[in-house]
Chain A
Amino acid sequence: MNAALVSMVVPFFAAMLVLMWRPRQQSWLVIVASIVSLLAAVMALLSVIDSGPQSLNLGGWESPLAIRFQLMPVNALLIVTTAVIHLIVVCFAASSHHCQPIKQAFWPLALLLHGSLVALWLSMDLFNWYVTLELLGLAAVALVTLAGQKALRAALDYLLLSLFASLTYLLGVVMLYGQYGTLDIALLATLTEADRVTQTALLLISAGLMLKAALWPLHLWLPAAHSSAPTPVSALLSALVVKAPLFILWLLWSRVAPSELAVPMGFWLALLGGGALLIGGWSACRTPHLKTLVAYSTVAQLGYGLLALGLLLHWQLNDLQAALWLFVVAHAMAKTSMFLAAGEIQAATGKKRLNSLRGMTLTMPVALFAFAVAGGSLIGLPPSGGFIAKWLLIQPMLIEPAYWPWALLVIIATLLSAAYVFRVVSQGFRQSSVSATASEHGKSAQWLALLPAILVWLMALFSEPLLQLMDVFSA
């Protein structure tokens, strides 16, 4: 538990330090803080594997009043993922030339985002989630505004929607508190009954969370906000921030909600997930802009998470938990890679459109390779992390003939994701009209973009311990 707390406190502390002290070598301070946070996160994961879930009541308060932190295998894994991605992204921001103008404000905000995320993963309290969601939202919006004047409108829309979602969430939380008198997840789980108030409260909370997670059909703000943000910010938002509400949604429906409510809701969630997969994938195949394509791919890929969550609830199959969280981790890695590569390409060509990618195999081979490798995991090519997750998801569907339509849906979605990934890669292989020369510009940034994509393929090698980790949890 202590290691997890260190992993949370170090980014907050470093953010304050950068803001108040403004040292000359900010980038080194931020990178060191990220490394310390990552090491602490790994230690937390190891301790959870050794000695099982641990919990902590903040300030030593007793059960109904306490704000409780809990460290479980799932959130330990998420804390490690968060730290890894933050480390890669800050290294990218430090080495990439086009990130130069945004740096001053980027460092403290990125650190605040990191700390809020870890706090959210650790909390097991409905109101503390509200607070961490707000912290996360404010930091995320502030990060989007760094792109300058043109992004302000998207940032404002993002902020207003995020605040609206928070208030919807808060109303639901208050109704639950009014009914049961506690905010603690473990206590609520023992108390909840399938009555009208509980149902309304859960629906309000879910609507707020789905809006924040950009789950279809509440996704319309995401492409604008994520594609107009600066490159490292897009990567953080798409890879991590949208996963936070999904985590709460999962705990809420799988733990707190009584099964009489969770089973029918699961069906609807799965259906919405299917909608996200098809419509998000289709939009990604149609858009003319590179970063918008990657953003729509996030909408589509979140559909897998929602589908896994929905079916997990509907069929009451705990095995799907592993599928859900491997999806989240694999997508986080792959999407970081994709956004960093896309941003690096866009900065080099200075154009947003997809056809500006022509000849990229000659000029920026590493960035294009990173995009393709990450795309492989999104499609679910073996042996990548995306493949393992998809395999776990599709396995229970194949056993029962009544479940085959869901399997068909997953296959169509896979074809769509293959279509939009190849749309980008094939452009890169086309002959460019301008004579292209390989540039040394931003070499290290391109390699950093490739790193998470390689990590997601390495996940396949460690699939055995990862699955065991999930098993420990569902037992």
Chain B
Amino acid sequence: MTLSLQLFLATGGILWLTGLYGLWRNSDPIRRIISLNIMGSGVFLVMVTLARRETSTDPVLHALVVTGLVVAVSATAFALRLAVASQQEKR
């Protein structure tokens, strides 16, 4: 594994941990949703990097990332709607 790939892997890990920290420290729903998305980006970065390890890129991981993105987008949309609805209740 080359140095640049290791750098990408480490970045993915750091993003994941940053998201984790954000989720733990924040109580505001919007901030927590953003933290989750940062965690997700970290995982996807790790996946895309692992796909580049060999000379031919691994299509399986790319397919998984696309599926993961679809899941992440729909889950985020749902979470945002819920966050808005629960804020309206407070007012």
Chain B interface: which of A147-155, A306-314, A325-333? A147-155
Question: In whole Å, how far is B25's beta carbon from the nearest beta carbon of chain A?
Answer: 13
Cα A159 to Cα B50 in complex, Å, equals: 29
Are A164 and B39 also in contact (CB < 8 A) when A127-B64, A156-B83 are? yes
Which residues of the other chain, A, contact B79 by a CB distance below 8 angstroms?
Answer: 156, 159-160, 163
Question: In whole Å, how far is B77's beta carbon from the nearest beta carbon of chain A?
Answer: 10
Which residues of the other chain, A, contact B19 by a CB distance below 8 angstroms?
Answer: 167
A155 and B82 form a contact (CB under 8 A):
yes
Which of A130, A153, A170 is the most central at the interface, judged by chain B CB atoms within 10 Å of its CB? A170
Which of A127, A138, A156 is the most central at the interface, judged by chain B CB atoms within 10 Å of its CB? A156
A171 and B46 form a contact (CB under 8 A):
yes
Which of A131, A145, A178, A183 is the most central at the interface, judged by chain B CB atoms within 10 Å of its CB? A178
Question: In whole Å, how far is B52's beta carbon from the nearest beta carbon of chain A?
Answer: 11
Which residues of the other chain, A, contact B50 by a CB distance below 8 angstroms?
Answer: 174, 177-178
Cα A65 to Cα B75 in complex, Å, equals: 26
Which residues of the other chain, A, contact B67 by a CB distance below 8 angstroms?
Answer: 127, 131
B16 and A160 form a contact (CB under 8 A):
no
Cα A155 to Cα B68 in complex, Å, equals: 22
A122 an interface residue at 8 Å Cβ cutoff? no
Question: In whole Å, how far is B75's beta carbon from the nearest beta carbon of chain A?
Answer: 6
Cα A171 to Cα B15 in complex, Å, equals: 12
Cα A183 to Cα B63 in complex, Å, equals: 13
Question: In whole Å, how far is A160's beta carbon from the nearest beta carbon of chain B?
Answer: 5
Contact among A138, A149, A167, A177 for B36, CB-based, below 8 A:
A167
B82 and A171 form a contact (CB under 8 A):
no
Contact among A127, A141, A167, A178 for B78, CB-based, below 8 A:
A141
Q: Could you give, for residues 26-57 of chain B, a 1 whenever the CB lies within 8 Å of some chain A CB and a 0 otherwise?
A: 00010011001001101100110010010000
Determine the main DSSP class of B at the interface with A: helix
Which of A141, A163, A164 is the most central at the interface, judged by chain B CB atoms within 10 Å of its CB? A163
Which residues of the other chain, B, contact A177 by a CB distance below 8 angstroms?
Answer: 50, 60-61, 64
A134 an interface residue at 8 Å Cβ cutoff? yes
Chain A contacts with B in 101-154, Cβ cutoff 8 A: 127, 130-131, 134, 138, 141-142, 145, 149-150, 152-153
Quick one: closest B residue to A175, CB to CB? B46
Are A171 and B16 also in contact (CB < 8 A) when A159-B82, A160-B33 are? yes
B82 and A156 form a contact (CB under 8 A):
yes
Which residues of the other chain, A, contact B78 by a CB distance below 8 angstroms?
Answer: 138, 141-142, 159
Which residues of the other chain, B, contact A138 by a CB distance below 8 angstroms?
Answer: 74-75, 78
Quick one: closest B residue to A151, CB to CB? B86
Which residues of the other chain, A, contact B32 by a CB distance below 8 angstroms?
Answer: 160
B3 an interface residue at 8 Å Cβ cutoff? no
Determine the main DSSP class of A at the interface with B: helix
Contact among A156, A174, A183 for B47, CB-based, below 8 A:
A174
Quick one: closest A residue to B65, CB to CB? A174
A160 and B23 form a contact (CB under 8 A):
yes
Question: In whole Å, how far is B6's beta carbon from the nearest beta carbon of chain A?
Answer: 12
Cα A338 to Cα B47 in complex, Å, equals: 44
Which residues of the other chain, B, contact A127 by a CB distance below 8 angstroms?
Answer: 64, 67
Quick one: closest A residue to B19, CB to CB? A167
A167 and B75 form a contact (CB under 8 A):
no
B75 and A152 form a contact (CB under 8 A):
no
Which residues of the other chain, B, contact A174 by a CB distance below 8 angstroms?
Answer: 43, 46-47, 50, 61, 64
A152 and B60 form a contact (CB under 8 A):
no
Which residues of the other chain, A, contact B86 by a CB distance below 8 angstroms?
Answer: 152-153, 155-156
B82 and A145 form a contact (CB under 8 A):
yes
Question: In whole Å, how far is B81's beta carbon from the nearest beta carbon of chain A?
Answer: 10
Question: In whole Å, how far is A59's beta carbon from the nearest beta carbon of chain B?
Answer: 13
Contact among B29, B36, B42, B64 for A164, CB-based, below 8 A:
B36
Cα A134 to Cα B71 in complex, Å, equals: 7
Quick one: closest A residue to B76, CB to CB? A163
A152 and B85 form a contact (CB under 8 A):
yes
Cα A164 to Cα B26 in complex, Å, equals: 14
Cα A18 to Cα B30 in complex, Å, equals: 33
Quick one: closest A residue to B49, CB to CB? A178
Cα A91 to Cα B63 in complex, Å, equals: 40
A159 and B75 form a contact (CB under 8 A):
yes
Question: In whole Å, how far is B45's beta carbon from the nearest beta carbon of chain A?
Answer: 10
Which residues of the other chain, B, contact A164 by a CB distance below 8 angstroms?
Answer: 20, 23, 36, 39
Question: In whole Å, how far is A183's beta carbon from the nearest beta carbon of chain B?
Answer: 8
Cα A131 to Cα B64 in complex, Å, equals: 10
A152 and B43 form a contact (CB under 8 A):
no
Cα A341 to Cα B86 in complex, Å, equals: 29
- Apart from the given pairs A152-B85, A159-B79, A174-B64, 11 other A-B contacts in the complex at a CB distance below 8 Å: A131-B71, A150-B89, A155-B82, A159-B75, A160-B23, A163-B36, A167-B39, A171-B46, A174-B46, A174-B61, A178-B50
Counting from the closest, the 7 A-B pairs by CB-CB distance are A152-B86, A178-B50, A149-B89, A156-B82, A167-B39, A134-B71, A153-B86
Q: Spell out B's residues near A (CB within 8 Å).
A: 16, 19-20, 23, 29, 32-33, 36, 39-40, 42-43, 46-47, 50, 53, 60-61, 64, 67-68, 71, 74-75, 78-79, 82-83, 85-86, 89
